[in-house]
Structure 1
Amino acid sequence: MRSPAPNRRALLKACLLAAAPLALAGTTPGAAQGQGSLAMKIRISFGDRDLAATLEDNPSARDFATLLPLRDLSIDDYANNEKISYLPRRLTEDGSGPFGDERPGDLCYYAPWGNLAFFYAGYRWSRGLIRLGRIDGGFEPLRTRGKFPLRIEPLS
């Protein structure tokens, strides 16, 4: 039996990545909570603080969802407008490019460094920055200065 053509393998991989967060969240594609967002919610915990976020519907966010739960990370201050955390591996950059509507509460992936960026103050899109999701509700806990252990897990 011949192996699938490279483009068929890529299509299969894309289908599997697309299905992963839906399987984790126990939802169906029609259950999305708005254009551009998955039905997948996550919990972000550091120190004694908990935040909830909703992931975007893009290849990088779906790849990120396959890493969950993440329990051995740390989160630290960077540039007076964000906290950052390094992932155990790089995420796909498929579908990356400029996005608008940047605002505090965005959860992004910065591909050149392979880190998450949790924005708590204004910022502008830059090359390599991919929005993964947005914090639901307030993001004030991100303003707490210091370095903390970080956990990120799906919300059930």
Structure 2
Amino acid sequence: MTIRLTLDGRPVDATLNDSAAARDFAALLPLTLDLSDFHGTERIAGLPRRLDTSGAPDAAEARAGDLAYYAPWGNLALYYRDGGSSDSGLVILGHVADGDTERLATAEHVTIEAGS
């Protein structure tokens, strides 16, 4: 599924994978979230509810451009740098279009909508 992220007024295209968590995330759209930095690798925001992570692997290794859900905290993570070692409870939801990861690093707000 294609989605559109608007980061501080600038559009970025992304694609969600076909996991249960990604489908559950898509059901929440549209969303407008305030972002904060976490560990110099990702922008994070709380979601209105926890996502269904049935069938998800126990851990995933995030790469720059990944959209992910961190199940222990119930938050969305937008990675602008590689996340390093695999993280227990991290579920990859999708990926932003190549070349658009630099916008993630400084974004304060994001609106996420289903794509056309």
TM-score normalized with structure 2 length = 0.89
Q: CA RMSD in A?
A: 1.4
Larger strand fraction of residues: 2
- Which of 57, 72, 78 lines up with 1:118 in the alignment? 78
Once the two structures are superposed, the pairs formed by residues 57-136 of structure 1 within 5 Å of their partners are 57-71=18-32, 73-97=33-57, 98-99=59-60, 102-123=62-83, 124-136=85-97
Structure 2 gap segments, 5+ residues each: none
Q: Deviations over 1:73-105 (max 9, x none)?
A: 2111111000001110000110121346x4211
TM-score normalized with structure 1 length = 0.68
Give the aligned length: 113
Higher relative contact order (CA 8 A, sep 6+): 2
Distance 1:60 1:131 in 2: 9
Identical columns (%): 46
Once the two structures are superposed, the pairs formed by residues 16-95 of structure 1 within 5 Å of their partners are 40-71=1-32, 73-95=33-55
Equivalent residue letter for 2:48: P
Structure 1 gap segments, 5+ residues each: 1-39
Q: Deviations over 1:62-82 (max 9, x none)?
A: 1001111113x2111111000
Once the 2 structures are TM-superposed, how far is the Cα of residue 133 of structure 1 from its aligned partner? 0.2
Larger helix fraction of residues: 1
Q: Is the CA contact (8 Å cut-off) linking 1:46 and 1:75 kept in structure 2?
A: no
Once the 2 structures are TM-superposed, how far is the Cα of residue 54 of structure 1 from its aligned partner? 0.4
